[in-house]
């Protein structure tokens, strides 16, 4: 009987020791993963250009989105409106996005009522863009793009380009390095040769 008890205790101790070693190894592995992940995250944040280092809310659900996710892409930022003579440019912008997105282009739309032609709320704007023009490129909540109350992104776009939006569908082309290449008035449509030439050149450039 004593021998059986002794053997049982030995088995328990051996099993406990094995389990303890497994837990220690798992904890060490978790610590190592965390230690390597933090520098990677820091590097990612450090590589985000100042122009993109902003959080904005997605149009469809108003959830915060970091513009750093577009680091390394060619970006076309456009302030949009639903009731403007240039509103049909949505169709051309979506076509542009569809054609070049696999090469690294992203179009970012920012609805704005700065020129009194965007009266709807965010859900109404989202429904209009999707049902009327089939917009799939990223859109964000209604944004002030001019004046003292302009969003930080548009203040920086204005500072880098030397030109604030003069009307709806003003466009800013940003290179892979996160710097403004050029800006285009509402009169320059998405299919403009001037814009397309600059865009294609930017797509071929390295970050």
What pLDDT band is residue 206 in, cutting at 50, 70 and 90? Answer: confident
Token pair of 17, please? 């020791």
Token pair of 167, please? 């009307």
Predicted confidence (pLDDT) per residue in 98-116, tens digit:
999 999 999 999 999 999 9
Predicted confidence (pLDDT) per residue in 111-164, tens digit:
999 999 999 999 999 999 999 999 999 999 999 999 999 999 999 999 999 999
User: What are the Cα distances from residue 112, in Å, to 11, 51, 118, 170, 205?
Assistant: 72, 19, 6, 11, 31
Domain boundaries, the chain: 1-47, 50-204
- By annotation, the residues acting in catalysis are 84
Could you give the angle at which helices 122-133 and 89-100 cross, rounded to 10 degrees?
Answer: 70
Q: Which of these CATH numbers, 3.10.450.50, 3.65.10.10, 3.40.30.10, 3.30.450.40, describes 50-204?
A: 3.40.30.10
Provide CB contacts within 8 A for 54, sequence distance 6+: 66, 67, 151, 152, 153
* Cβ-contact 196, 100 below 8 angstroms: no
Predicted confidence (pLDDT) per residue in 55-66, tens digit:
999 999 999 999
Handedness of CA 90, 94, 95, 100 (dihedral sign): positive
pLDDT, mean of residues 68-73? 97
What share of the chain in percent tops pLDDT 70? Answer: 77
């Amino acid at each position: 009987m004593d021998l059986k008890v002794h053997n049982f205790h030995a088995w328990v101790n051996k099993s406990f020791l094995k389990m303890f070693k497994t837990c220690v190894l798992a904890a060490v592995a978790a610590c190592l993963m965390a230690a390597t992940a933090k520098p990677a995250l820091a590097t990612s944040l450090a590589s985000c250009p100042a122009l993109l280092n902003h959080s904005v809310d997605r149009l469809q659900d108003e959830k915060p989105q970091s513009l750093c996710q577009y680091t390394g892409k060619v970006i076309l930022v456009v302030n949009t409106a639903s009731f403007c003579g240039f509103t049909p440019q949505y169709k051309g912008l979506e076509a542009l996005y569809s054609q070049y997105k696999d090469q690294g282009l992203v179009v970012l739309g920012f609805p704005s009522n700065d020129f009194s032609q965007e009266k709807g709320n965010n859900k109404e704007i989202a429904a209009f863009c999707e049902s009327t023009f089939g917009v799939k490129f990223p859109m964000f909540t209604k944004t002030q793009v001019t004046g003292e109350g302009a969003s930080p992104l548009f203040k920086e776009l204005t500072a880098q380009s030397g030109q604030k939006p003069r009307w709806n569908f003003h466009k800013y082309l940003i290179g892979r390095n996160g710097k403004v290449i050029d800006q285009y008035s509402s009169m320059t449509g998405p299919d403009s040769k001037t814009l397309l030439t600059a865009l294609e050149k930017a797509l071929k450039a390295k970050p």
